């Protein structure tokens, strides 16, 4: 499926799973979709499974957005408490669309908890409370993580056992039943031989010829322009500090500045690839940590060397490996919600780049990389590292173990299912008359409270419902629960109860189910 075909499906408001190989344009497609939504007056909730991914897209982690935090289980009491939390209720109620990026790193249990929160707050048993959900990611990349994860040990990674591992196994995923949009174009890898190696890893069909090509890159040496990728943070910090200390130049220090609530600023700092304190010298090897918002001078992953510092503002002058010389000024990372900026940090969009972890490289496109995969310990770790570079020529290996060439076997089987689902969806939408597709898209915009063709926006679904049911989607109090139980047990008609509480009949029924007074249909 092309990016254009996927975008047309997203615009209908369908629940979708957007996937594809690294470099296929998933992020670009999501950005186009978000821009389109905002152009028609609809503000999506933008979230991601990790802090780093959330920082890249200017949103919350899905854990923060939904109020579940680091919980691994959600009791009825905790669900009630979250549903009484004003900021979470406001987020979930005031949006029609939620985007969850890097869903491959989200466990099935976590997705189930998020879905339960949405249903509870929105007062309906429809999947995710009736929100349009866009799931984005590639399950061949890093696997789900559980709780607070350290990159230092595999014991912290969620292992397969009696409970589901991947989010597509979640009952929430199954009830959502998203349309799979599998992007087939390739915009990163420019080398057919290298692309074939990566495809062979995905299929679990790495042959001797592929291993020989990779082994040939051991002879390439580190190279003067290659960032080094390691599996562990300790290796990265040791190399960067050692290499910076070797430079016989005076150091310049650049400190991150944050504005907003302390908690949100701390979240941004943890997710930002630029360090809170950045020490640079002339000759320092650096990597850009953000896409250039004002043009196309650099992207996340562009490599370069500090050649000096501006006499005017003191900012570093960086010569990229493509030969472009730039004065690098501070960039901004922010958390946005409903068009408002809740927190922001400012720092140079740079980090030392003699080395970086595989984990933090996810999402980057590198011209050259030297990596040691002899200690790769998790499925997909080697694949993520290898797929960062565009060509085999840009790859340099210090070591390689067999685990680095393996992806999770369950994913290989599921990938075939995803591809078949995507082809079925593509054929259905390609055959759809353009007029019918346009009507679906316009109806979605109106239902989400946006405007079509410059026409005034109609009332949102929430506004329409609250015109008839003023307490729709509001949290239930203990007093209301007691009153509801008494009225129900006394035999009061459902219509009368609905009018008395100012809530939809479905919400009354959902609450009775939760209280154990009736069984769920």
CA distance 180 to 137: 11
DSSP readout, 90-125?
Answer: HHHHT-SEEEEE-GGGSBHHHHHHHHHHHHHHHT--
Query: What's the confidence (pLDDT) of residue 400?
Result: 87
Lowest mean per-residue pLDDT among 229-238, 245-254, 381-390, 466-475: 466-475
- Secondary structure percentages of the chain, helix, strand, coil, to 5: 45, 20, 40
Query: What's the confidence (pLDDT) of residue 155?
Result: 32
* pTM, entire model: 0.67
The residue assigned the tokens 């899905």 is: 62
The residue assigned the tokens 């979240």 is: 267
Contact 506, 124 (CB under 8 A): yes
Convert the pLDDT of each residue in 130-172 to its tens digit: 999 999 999 987 666 543 333 333 333 444 443 447 899 999 9
Contact 346, 289 (CB under 8 A): no
Based on its alpha-carbon atoms, the radius of gyration of the chain, rounded to whole angstroms, reads: 25
Query: What's the confidence (pLDDT) of residue 520?
Result: 67
pLDDT beyond 60 at 463: no
Mean pLDDT of 275-303: 81
pLDDT beyond 70 at 213: yes
Task: Pick 3-187+432-447's CATH classification: 3.40.50.300, 3.90.950.10, 3.90.1150.10, 3.40.50.720.
Answer: 3.40.50.300
Distant-in-sequence, close-in-space partners of 234: CB < 8 Å, separation ≥ 6: 152
CA distance 54 to 47: 6
Instruction: Identify the sign of the CA torsion 238, 244, 247, 251.
Output: negative
Query: Across the chain, what does the average pLDDT equal?
Result: 82
Contact 107, 146 (CB under 8 A): yes
Contact 196, 394 (CB under 8 A): no
Convert the pLDDT of each residue in 141-152 to its tens digit: 766 654 333 333
Lowest mean per-residue pLDDT among 105-109, 421-425, 483-487, 517-521: 517-521
The residue assigned the tokens 């700092």 is: 269
The total of other beta-carbon atoms located within 10 Å of residue 255's CB is 11
The residue assigned the tokens 């496109």 is: 365
Query: What's the confidence (pLDDT) of residue 427?
Result: 93
pLDDT beyond 80 at 410: yes
Pairing mode of beta strands 395-400, 227-230: unpaired
CA distance 312 to 68: 47
CA distance 9 to 446: 16
Bin 147: left if φ > 0, else alpha if -120 < ψ < 50, else beta: left
* Secondary structure (H, E, C), 324-383: CEEECCCEEEEEEECCEEEEEEEECCEEECCEEEHHHHCCCCECCEEEEECCCCCCCHHH
**Banded pLDDT at 221 (limits 50, 70, 90):** low
pLDDT beyond 50 at 428: yes
Convert the pLDDT of each residue in 319-347 to its tens digit: 987 788 989 999 888 877 656 778 889 99
CA distance 469 to 487: 18
Contact 506, 471 (CB under 8 A): no
Note the Cα 407 to chain centre separation in Å: 20
pLDDT beyond 80 at 29: yes
Query: What's the confidence (pLDDT) of residue 264?
Result: 83
Indicate the domain borders of the chain. Answer: 3-187+432-447, 192-406, 476-514
Query: What's the confidence (pLDDT) of residue 472?
Result: 65
């Amino acid at each position: 499926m092309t990016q254009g075909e996927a975008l047309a499906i997203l615009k209908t408001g369908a629940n979708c799973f957007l996937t594809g190989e690294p470099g296929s344009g998933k992020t670009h497609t999501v950005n186009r979709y978000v821009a389109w939504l905002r152009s028609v007056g609809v503000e999506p909730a933008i979230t991601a499974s990790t802090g780093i991914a959330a920082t890249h897209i200017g949103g919350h982690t899905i854990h923060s957005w939904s109020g579940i935090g680091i919980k691994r289980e959600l009791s009825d009491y905790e669900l009630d408490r979250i549903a009484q939390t004003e900021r979470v209720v406001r987020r979930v109620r005031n949006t029609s669309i939620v985007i969850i990026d890097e869903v491959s790193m989200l466990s099935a249990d976590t997705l189930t908890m998020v879905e339960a929160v949405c249903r509870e707050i929105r007062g309906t048993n429809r999947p995710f409370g009736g929100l349009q959900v866009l799931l984005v990611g590639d399950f061949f990349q890093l696997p789900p993580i559980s709780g607070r994860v350290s990159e230092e040990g595999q014991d912290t990674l969620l292992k397969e056992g009696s409970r589901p591992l991947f989010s597509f196994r979640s009952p929430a995923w199954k009830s959502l039943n998203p349309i799979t949009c599998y992007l087939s174009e390739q915009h990163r890898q420019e080398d057919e031989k290298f692309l074939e190696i990566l495809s062979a890893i995905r299929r679990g069909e790495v042959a001797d010829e592929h291993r020989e090509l990779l082994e040939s890159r051991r002879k390439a040496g580190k190279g003067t322009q290659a960032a080094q990728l390691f599996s562990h943070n300790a290796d990265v910090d040791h190399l960067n500090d050692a290499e910076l200390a070797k430079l016989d130049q005076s150091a310049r220090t650049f400190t991150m500045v944050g504005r907003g609530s302390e908690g949100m600023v701390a979240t941004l700092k943890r997710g930002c690839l630029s360090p809170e304190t950045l020490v640079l010298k002339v000759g320092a090897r650096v990597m850009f940590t953000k896409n250039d918002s004002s043009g196309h001078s650099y992207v996340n992953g562009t490599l370069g060397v500090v050649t000096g510092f501006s006499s005017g503002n003191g900012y570093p002058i960086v010569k990229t490996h493509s030969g472009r010389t730039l004065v690098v000024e501070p960039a901004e990372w922010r958390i946005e919600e409903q068009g408002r900026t809740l927190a922001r940090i400012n720092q140079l969009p740079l980090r030392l780049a003699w080395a970086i972890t595989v984990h933090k490289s996810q999402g980057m496109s590198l011209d050259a990389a030297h990596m040691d995969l002899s200690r790769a310990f998790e499925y997909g770790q080697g694949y993520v590292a290898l797929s960062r570079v565009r060509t085999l020529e840009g790859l340099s290996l210090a070591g390689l173990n067999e685990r680095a060439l393996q992806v999770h076997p369950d994913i290989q089987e599921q990938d075939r299912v995803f591809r078949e689902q995507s082809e079925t969806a593509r054929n259905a939408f390609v055959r759809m008359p353009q007029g019918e597709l346009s009507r679906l898209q316009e109806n979605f915009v109106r239902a989400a409270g946006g405007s079509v063709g410059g026409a005034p926006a109609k009332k949102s679904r929430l506004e329409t419902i609250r015109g008839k049911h003023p307490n729709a989607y509001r949290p239930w109090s203990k007093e209301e629960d007691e009153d509801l139980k008494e009225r129900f047990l006394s035999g009061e008609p459902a219509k009368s109860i609905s009018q008395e509480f100012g809530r939809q009949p479905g919400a009354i029924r959902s609450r009775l189910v939760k209280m154990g007074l009736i069984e769920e249909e």
